[in-house]
Every structure is written in C-alpha cells, then in structure tokens.
Structure 1
Amino acid sequence: MSISDNDDFYAERQEIESEIQELIGEHPEIENSDSLILNAQRNFEDLYRAVHKDEKLHFFTEDENDITRVRDVFVRINQGGVTPNRAEILLSLMTSSWQQEPPEINARDEVHSMVDELNGIIDGGNAPFATKHVQKVLLAINGNEIQYRFDNYTLDLLRNLKEIWLSDTFPNTMEQLAELLNSYYPTVTYILSPALYTPIAYYLYQNENPSLDSTSIKGRGRRRDILYYICAARLNGFTSQSSNQIAELVRDVIREEESSEFPLERISDEVASSYGTSLRFTEEKLTTLFEELQYGKRDIEFLLQLSHYPDEPARGKDYDIDHIIPKSVLPEEADADRVGNLQLLIDKTNKMKSDDDFEDWMNSRTDDYKQTHHIPEGAKEMTFEEFVDAREQLIMEHILENQPF
C-alpha cells in the first residue's frame, strides 16, 4: 500500500474500518467489535508512523579506527536476524580498509568490475562468476582458509588482499582462469566449486601465469593435467561438503611443488591420505558412475569429457550431448539415457544427425569417428542393450588406460 499524505492515510483507514466491520459481521461469535476496530485503527496508525514519520537509526560509536571492531559489531547485530551474506561482509570490510591507506581503492567497484569482465569472457551469455569467486582466490593466494571465517578478517589480512589485488599478476591470473575454463567442455558454472577453481587459480598465480598455449608441448601438457584434475576431482567427490578444506590441501600441495607442472599425482595421494578419495579411477568406481549418471545429470559432462581424454574439445566449438541411438526409435522400456548411448557432438553435427536412422548414420561415419566415440565393432548387428554394454566397456577401458599417473 502506498500512502503519500494524511488524506490518503485517512481514506485508506476508512476502507480498512469498513473491511474489518464486514469481517466481524461474518463471525458473530466475535464480541466487543468496537474495541477490535479501535485496536485495528491504532495498529494501522502505528504502522504509518513507523514507515513514514519516525526516523530511527541504530548505530554504535567507536573511538578507535579498528576494522576488527567494525567486523565484530556488524556480525553481532546480525546474529538475531537474517544471516548476513558472507561475501558481502568481506567486501564491505575490504572497501573500508582499502580506502584508509594510499593508494585508495574502492574495493566494491573494483571487484564488481572484475566480475563483469570475467563473465564477459564466458560464451553463451552466462554469468557464472560472482564476488565470492574473486574473494576465495584472493584468500587462497594469501594462504588463508578459503572458507569464510569472520575471525580471520583482520586489518593485516585486508592489507594483504589489497597487495595481491594491486599486483600485475592477479588480474592476469583471473583472466587466464576464465579463458581456460571457458575453453573446456564442462559448463563453467559446474566447475566453480572451491575445490576445483581455487587450486587452479593458485597454480596460475604461483607460476606467474604460465603458458597454456595448446600448440606448445608444455602448454598442452598443463591444459591436459588441469582438465583431468577438474573432471576426476568432480567425479571423485572433491566438491562435497569438505570442498573448502580439500581446496586448501590441494593449494598447499601446489605451493610445495618445486617444478612449474601441475602436481596431479601428489595431489591425488595427499587427498587420499586425508579424505579417503583421490584422482584415480578403478573399474568399480566407473561402474558405479555408469549406474548413477545419465542424460540430464550434471556430472555426465565430466564423464563424457574423460571419455576423450587426453584430447580436448576443439576450441571455439559448441558441443551437445547426443543420443547415439535416438530415443524416438527406441521402445519406452529402453534406457536411452544411459552413458553408453551418449556422446559429445559439435552442435552443428548434432543438428545434422538429428533423428537419422542409426544404421545410416553409422554407414556415413569414418573409422576415426568410430574410434574417437568408442563405437564397438559390429554395432549395427547388436541389440540396444548389447550396444550400450559394449560401448560402456570401451569407455571404461579408455579412462583406465589414459589416467596420467
């Protein structure tokens, strides 16, 4: 209800009085109707005054310029109400702190601007990056806990984050991270779990943004190792409730690495020792994934990507998940969404394929295509179940044989 002046207010009050009287008339068991109306009038007037007349401001007076006190007061007054946005709290503290000493920086404007630039790199008009992703990379680089913890937000921490921000390396790291994730097939949003993107960003920063050029031997090797890490970590549960802690452990392993290579094997061993999972696959693990994953599940993208590893998707190409044997030609009881009936196809090729007859499509494909997509020998003579089982076996063998360590 919008009330602009007293005339509107009293007109609205008369309407409310009339409605209250009608309600009372519908409930004869209610007595003392005059008293009820009077109470309603008073409540309405109180509401009007609270919204439009009273000027109330809650504040605390602090004699010391202490960002820690500001943090504590902010957290304390919010404890009884809505849980504050942790990224917003840190951003507010960064904004206040970064303007206290030269060079003065408006952290809020700067971080929001970087987020916009990162999202501008991502294809498809998506905007997966947010303030929290930039902040967690800053925290990772500084060596802090990646999980938001108010007790950590000291003036020294905020100064360190500012120093990292002002370095030439940090903005280049974030840009390189966005470009790298955008070049892979899995949806960027699904990669933005702390255990996945923060160690990668830390690796890039630690090594002063090394070459990721796919035409160079070292660049291609780094791209492949990072791609394997993303897919294997996602499929092996690194993005669970312990995601922040795993991210910190992986960050520490990378920090101790003497070479400029991404230390996949050491990461796998350390995470296995602390959390009981690793970057390695077993036949049992893959069998479970084949049973759990199907068309429409998020993690299917990571599994299908591994079915082509160490090859990467062609850069600049859009990919779709395609049903090899179209659902339209299968009986309802057939499980058309199984892993063994799914493949990654370039969007244009997928549209050309459409609902073509399976045998006609196979006859038109090259031997290289059939090998790349793990099409079993004699596929045209197989039943659907035989085809899917045989293809899943080929995919499993490929993943097991191409593990990088």
Structure 2
Amino acid sequence: MAFQTPVTVQEVLAGIHEKRYLLPAIQREFVWGTDQIRQLVDSLMRGYPIGSFLLWNVEPDTASHYAFYDFLTDFHERDHPYATKATVPSGRSAVAILDGQQRLTSLNIAVYGSHAEKKKYAWWNSPDAFPRKRLYLNLLEDPDHEELSLRYDLRFLTDSEAQPQPGEPAKWFRVGDVLKLENSGPALMKALKDRGVDLNEVDAHQRLYDLYEAIRVTKPINYYLEGSQDPDKVLDIFVRVNSGGTTLSYSDLLLSMATNQWEEYDAREEVRALVQELNTGGSREFSFSKDVVLKTALMVAGVDLRFRVTNFTQDNMKKVEKVWSTTRAALLRAATLLSRFGLSTRSLTAHSVVIPIAYLLASKGLDDSYLDSTASAEDRVRLQKWVNRSLMKRGIWGSGLDTTLSRIRQAIDAHGASGFPVEAVQAEMAAIGKSLEFEATEVDELLELKYGGQRTFPVLAMLYPGLDLSKVFHEDHVFPRSRFTRKRLAEAGVAVPDIDVFVAAVDRLPNLQLLQGQANVEKQAVLPAKWLDKAFVSEEQRATYVEQNDLDVLPEDIKEFMDFYEARKACLRDRLQQRLGVKASTAADTP
C-alpha cells in the first residue's frame, strides 16, 4: 500500500466524471445529509484537513469478476437515492474507493450536483415534496449564528430561492460555478461585478477566493493506493477502515457479503428494487429499509439472526440466496397485508413487525389467496389483532429484536397448521419479557394518546375492528380542532378557566375516531351533531354509526364538550378492556 501525491478537489472530481474512480459493490449507500456536506465544504474553505482516503487499484482480470457503481451526482430521496451500476469495459482496470466514499460523494453533489429530500410534513407521493436544491455560498454575509460551527454561510437552496430581490446584488453564488472561473484574479473580480457586488466589499472577494482555493488550488485529497488483487485481503481492509465514522452496519456488511458471494442474483440491485416496491408499489406507502429486508432474508433462510462476522459465511450467504425469491414474494404480501390493515408510513411505528408476517407466509407456503380468501379471513383477523397489540404495547420491537424474532420463528415452525399461531407466539414472547397482555393502568395510558401519535392508529383500529381499513381512513377529531382556539372558544361561551382544559383535551383519544378519507374532507370544521344530521340518508344508518363509534353522548353545543369527552372516555375504556381482555377494575381492587 503506497501513499500517493495529493490532488485537488477539482482533479478528483474530474476523475469521477471521467469514470476513472468507481465504487465497489461492497460499499454502503450514500448516507450523509446536507449538514455534513456543508460542514465538509466549510472545512475545505478554512484549509482544514479532511482525512486521508484509501483507493484500490483493480487490474483488468480482477475487475471483470466484480460489480462497480458510479458516484451519485443528483441525489433524490425518493426517485434517485442510489448510485447506478457502472460498466467497466473488458480489458480495462478500475480504481475503487475503499474509504472516503461519503466525503467524495458529498463533494460531487456540492460541486456538480443537487440534493432533493422530502419536505417536513409533505406527502411522499406529492410532486412538490422533494425540491431540488444546490449548494450556494453567501458572498455578502456570514452565518446568522453559530449553526453547525460554520464560518461560511453555505446553504442548499432551490435556484429560485437563490435569486436576488429586485435591485439587490446576487449574493448567493452556486458552489459549482467556481469551476467556470478562469482564474482567481480578474475573472473572480468580474464575477463579483456581474453580480452587482461592490468591488470594495473585501469580505465578498475573500469568500469567493477561499472557495476557489479550496476547490481548485489546495491539494487536500491525500490517499493510499492498495494494489493487492486478493479479494479476502481487500474485504478485510474495507471492514477495518470502515469501523469508524458512520459505522458499517449489520445490513451494510451483510449486503456487502451477499453482493460478492451470490451467484444467480445481484444482491444489491435486488434489495434496492424490493425496498422501493415495498414502500411505493400498488397503494402501499411505507418507509421500510434494507435492514428489514435483509433481516427477513436471514429469518426465512433459517440462519442465525445475530450480527456476528462469523455468521456471514459463504454457506449462509448461499442459503439466503436460495430462498431469495420466496423471501421477496413473502415480504410483498406481508406489506400488502399491513396496508390492508390500514397501516402506512405514518402509523407503522415498528417496521420489524413485517418480518414475522413474511416468515409465516414463506414458511407455510401461503400465496396470494391468503390475502383475499374467505377461508383465511379468520386467521387474518387474528393476525391483525396481534399486529395492533404489538404496536400498542411499549418495548416490543425495541431491544432484543433478534431474540424476539428467533422465538417467534420457533413458535411458527412448531405449529403444524398453516395459520398464525397467536397463542404460541405470544407465549414465546412472554417468556422473554415481551408479553402482549395489558393491565388496566396501561389502558388508562392509551386513553391519553394524542392525534398523530405513534400508537394512536393501532388503538383506534383495535377499538373499531369492523372498519374496512383497506380503504383510506384518517384519524379525525370528533369535535373539529379548528374550533378550539382560545378566541373561538371564548366566543362560543366557554368559561375562561375552562379554555385551557378544552385545548388540552381536543387532540386526545376520546375526541378521535377513524373516518373514511372523503368523509373526513367533507366534514371539515362542522360540529359533529350537525354533520351527523347531513351525512346519513336514513335514521337507521345514523344510529348504527353513532353506536359503532360511541357517539351516543354527543352534545349539540361545544360548551358541553368536556361532558362528552369524559363520557366517551369511559365508553372507550370499557371497549378497550374488553378488546384486550383486561379485567375491569372495581372498588374491591382499589387499595
């Protein structure tokens, strides 16, 4: 391994775009965020070292046996989060990045590319949810505060956000445009003048000069070049050098091993494609990760689930590949089931719950008929109740996940029939401290859950199991939230001392229900009693809805909201205790 002559950022990025530098398949995906990219460029502009890099010189014969990827340039969280597969022409060598991928990809995005991540609260499928942003340098101002300890005001902005206001200088300079400057003297001054920047503005000149020096003059890229063609040695080096920074995760290492050892499938491409299909295929909307996919693959293959390098043997990887098509089909069916249970990325708080479902489908050979047939209807109901219980109960899918999954696998294997053995599974879980039984105090805690909370949807689904959750249902306020501002409550005649109590209660479970999407849109801010009178064509339909949703105590006036709240809370407590098999507390139980 020899230390090489340092190069500039411009030179190494040119090598990336000339396909001289590639990523080996054992590399993890790009995981750095925009703040890390900003800090990296800020460090370069300050003249700080950014660490050394490790490259692997892959000779033509070796290169022909491995998969390589290009660097990401335009990152898009939904549509283009992964690097694309590279083609190495026959007889050509390659230089692969063993250590430094995150930094080099970040520099490539900062200088040549863009970054698009989902806006907070935006819908995943919205066309405007992922604005394309580029990295810009503020020529006229320092950061407003000590954000990220940055010296330079570097921000990812859309092109429209970077446009100056009429009559003002163009203070935002796109970092990539520094490559267009012919020199750091007259050309730099002309760039400032063309932007309307006062040439006497010394700081503006210094900021742009610092950027020019950091990208085009200074040589901060120090690297070692490994020349060995022994794949075991290279893999050992890779694992060792990636033990720091963003630690090589369980799934990263497993995927690395699978990519190099699978013979029929390209593991990386298969996992990528499956993750995308799980999350956005059909009417599904989830955010499963490759960790869930790979953990399921281990479970279906029947191998040890724990993260130990000794488990990643060639024999185990062959077992995983052998059952891959089964694993893939089972996961897609399991995700479809969860979607039909009404769950989505906003309400599925524990992604690992999909793993036992997929294992059941795979190990019992259950096909698409399980999703729809009347013969499986009762079993689907049992499975749904178990899913909801596990999501409602604290601590089920957290620590000790491998042990939990192993015990569930044992229970399913020992069950001769094709259905889900709820009692056996819950017994195994209880034996390791993961009981799904509830106490009365836990029911009281569930009644305090809030709108949009992590466990709110599964609790409402447990309360009202007759709903067809394969259709779109929203968490809905019985009394509309928009009516519960202090001003509107006072205008409605609510006593001032009671206003804070009303505001605190409006988002809690006793004022929530599941309402079909279109009906929720139509309901808007109408008081519930008036909405009920208009929403149903017959008194019989209205009465059924009222009974099913515990709304028989519904008042006409918002001033009586707390009476309704407490009465419905008591109804929900009784209903939850019944659904969960909790013994109702009595006076004799009170100490």
TM-score between the two structures when normalised by the length of structure 1: 0.78
User: Is the Cα contact below 8 Å between 1:193 and 1:243 reproduced in 2?
Assistant: no
1:96 aligns with 2:273: no
Tell me the residue number matched to 1:164.
323
User: Is the Cα contact below 8 Å between 2:9 and 2:215 reproduced in 1?
Assistant: no
Which range is displaced more, 197-206 or 263-272?
A: 263-272
Match of 1:321 among 475, 481, 484: 475
Measured at CA, do residues 222 and 119 of structure 1 come closer, stay the same or move farther in structure 2, by a change above 3 Å? same
SS of equivalent residue, structure 1 residue 84: coil
**Structure-2 separation of matches of 1:302 and 1:239:** 15
SS of equivalent residue, structure 2 residue 295: helix
User: What is the CA-CA distance between 1:401 and the residue it aligns to?
Assistant: 2.3
Query: After superposition, where does 1:241-390 map in structure 2 within 5 Å?
Result: 241-275=399-433, 277-291=434-448, 293-309=449-465, 311-315=466-470, 317-330=471-484, 331=489, 332-333=499-500, 334=502, 335-364=505-534, 366-377=542-553, 379-380=555-556, 383-390=560-567
Tell me the residue number matched to 1:35.
none
User: Is the Cα contact below 8 Å between 1:250 and 1:271 reproduced in 2?
Assistant: yes
**Structure-1 separation of matches of 2:409 and 2:349:** 16
Tell me the residue number matched to 1:223.
380
**Any gaps of 5 or more consecutive residues in structure 1?**
17-21, 24-39
**Structure-2 separation of matches of 1:271 and 1:362:** 43
User: What is the CA-CA distance between 1:233 and the residue it aligns to?
Assistant: 0.5
1:121 aligns with 2:121: no
Question: How big is each residue's C-alpha offset from its partner over 1:264-307, in whole Å with a ceiling of 9 and x where there is no partner?
Answer: 222222222211x422233221101212x111212111111111
**Any gaps of 5 or more consecutive residues in structure 2?**
1-7, 15-178, 189-201, 204-209, 490-498, 537-541, 583-591
SS of equivalent residue, structure 2 residue 323: helix
Measured at CA, do residues 13 and 97 of structure 1 come closer, stay the same or move farther in structure 2, by a change above 3 Å? farther
Percentage of pairs with the same residue: 23
Question: How big is each residue's C-alpha offset from its partner over 1:172-209, in whole Å with a ceiling of 9 and x where there is no partner?
Answer: 21221121122121224653735411111111111112
**Structure-2 separation of matches of 1:185 and 1:295:** 16
Tell me the residue number matched to 1:73.
237
**Structure-1 separation of matches of 2:409 and 2:419:** 13
Measured at CA, do residues 282 and 45 of structure 1 come closer, stay the same or move farther in structure 2, by a change above 3 Å? closer
User: What is the CA-CA distance between 1:361 and the residue it aligns to?
Assistant: 2.6
> Which amino acid counterpart does residue 254 of structure 1 have in structure 2?
I
1:83 aligns with 2:247: yes
Match of 2:300 among 135, 138, 141: 141
Tell me the residue number matched to 2:330.
173
**Structure-2 separation of matches of 1:45 and 1:162:** 44
TM-score between the two structures when normalised by the length of structure 2: 0.55
Tell me the residue number matched to 2:289.
130
User: Is the Cα contact below 8 Å between 1:222 and 1:261 reproduced in 2?
Assistant: yes
**Structure-1 separation of matches of 2:399 and 2:217:** 44
User: Is the Cα contact below 8 Å between 2:412 and 2:420 reproduced in 1?
Assistant: yes
User: Is the Cα contact below 8 Å between 1:307 and 1:398 reproduced in 2?
Assistant: yes
Which range is displaced more, 149-158 or 324-333?
A: 324-333
User: Is the Cα contact below 8 Å between 2:296 and 2:359 reproduced in 1?
Assistant: yes
User: Is the Cα contact below 8 Å between 2:10 and 2:216 reproduced in 1?
Assistant: no
User: What is the CA-CA distance between 1:84 and the residue it aligns to?
Assistant: 2.3
User: What is the CA-CA distance between 1:80 and the residue it aligns to?
Assistant: 3.7
Tell me the residue number matched to 1:26.
none
The answer to which structure has the higher strand fraction is 2
User: Is the Cα contact below 8 Å between 1:326 and 1:355 reproduced in 2?
Assistant: yes
User: Is the Cα contact below 8 Å between 2:474 and 2:514 reproduced in 1?
Assistant: yes
Measured at CA, do residues 150 and 12 of structure 1 come closer, stay the same or move farther in structure 2, by a change above 3 Å? farther
What is the total number of aligned residue pairs between the two structures? 365
1:106 aligns with 2:266: yes
**Structure-2 separation of matches of 1:346 and 1:45:** 55
**Structure-2 separation of matches of 1:84 and 1:59:** 20
> Which amino acid counterpart does residue 350 of structure 1 have in structure 2?
N
SS of equivalent residue, structure 1 residue 321: strand
